[in-house]
Amino acid sequence: MWSSLLKRLLNISKAKANDALDRAEDPVQMIKLATVELEQAIAQATKALSVAMANQKKLERDHEQFRLESLGWYQKAAAAMQNGNEALAEKALGQKALSDKKETEYRLLAERAGAAVGQLQEQLDDYKAKLQEVKTKQSIYIAKAESAKAHKQIAETLSGLNGSALANMEKYENSINQMEAEAESLTQINSDKSKLEKEFRQLENSVSVQEDMEKLRLDVAQQKQLKEQQRIADLNRKFEELNQGTQTHHLKVLPPNAPDAKSLPPKPAEDLKKKMDDFFK
């Protein structure tokens, strides 16, 4: 009786746990819930076992009571027989027979109850050991569930990447390559434009330099010409001064013993005139 009750309780608990696991969205929480339900079922079975053990004890006490009652009636029958009262002794033995019958029934009931309690205790101990094993492995089950959940999330994420994410990445890459090509083209165009502008600037600078060179040459030539004219003017002035001095010298009377003018050494004015003639040749 009690063994079948414990089995039914455990089966109901397992059925509830399995049904909850089948409908669960979070198996980790369901494992914890199933463990709790199994603990509750074992607690109920333990309570039922205590009731069965109490009933067994009562049956054993009733059996002992009827055994003592049978012994008491037998002693009363013996006393009546010793006093020569066989009728009373026979009545006492009749009561003893009733007590013996009840003693036998209760003995059998106590024995069956004892066997059932022993079997129930053995099964309950077995389930307690299994519960302890489940509790010990619960962390492993939870870790496995978390690992499986993480792997599933990774797989779903990678599956998503194989679709839209990678397609978008390819589109972004093409856009970046297009932007890079446009930038290189603009850079090349600007470089060519800058090179052309640089050539024109160099040309303009060259023309400006040539113009400045021509102007400088004219300025230098003019300065040189002015200096030459000034030098000639200075020479002419000196020549005039010397020429006037020479004429005054020729007006003087030569002494009688003076040499001929042609034999005289050249005068400074003549020397200056000769140098000027050589300069302008």
Q: H/E/C letters for each residue in the chain? A: CHHHHHHHHHHHHHHHHHHHHHHCCCHHHHHHHHHHHHHHHHHHHHHHHHHHHHHHHHHHHHHHHHHHHHHHHHHHHHHHHHCCCHHHHHHHHHHHHHHHHHHHHHHHHHHHHHHHHHHHHHHHHHHHHHHHHHHHHHHHHHHHHHHHHHHHHHHHHHHHHHHHHHHHHHHHHHHHHHHHHHHHHHHHHHHHHHHHHHHHHHHHHHHHHHHHHHHHHHHHHHHHHHHHHHHHHHHHHHHHHHHHHHHHHHCCCCCCCCCCHHHCCCCHHHHHHHHHHHHHC
- 96 and 70 in contact (C-beta within 8 Å)? yes
Residue of 131, 90, 94, 114 whose CA lies nearest to 1? 114
pLDDT score at 68? 92
- 29 and 73 in contact (C-beta within 8 Å)? no
- 107: tokens are 């003995």
- 161: tokens are 């990447």
pLDDT score at 73? 92
Q: Is the pTM of this model over 0.85?
A: no
Residue of 4, 36, 42 whose CA lies nearest to 17? 36
pLDDT score at 101? 92
- 72: tokens are 């008491």
Residue with structure tokens 């067994």?
A: 56
One-letter identity of residue 254 = L
pLDDT score at 279? 56
- 33 and 134 in contact (C-beta within 8 Å)? no
- 1 and 109 in contact (C-beta within 8 Å)? no
pLDDT score at 252? 47
pLDDT score at 98? 92
Radius of gyration of the chain (CA): 73
Per-run averaged pLDDT (10 residues), the chain, 281 residues:
57 58 62 80 84 88 90 91 90 90 90 86 84 79 77 72 61 78 77 74 75 81 87 83 66 49 50 58 55
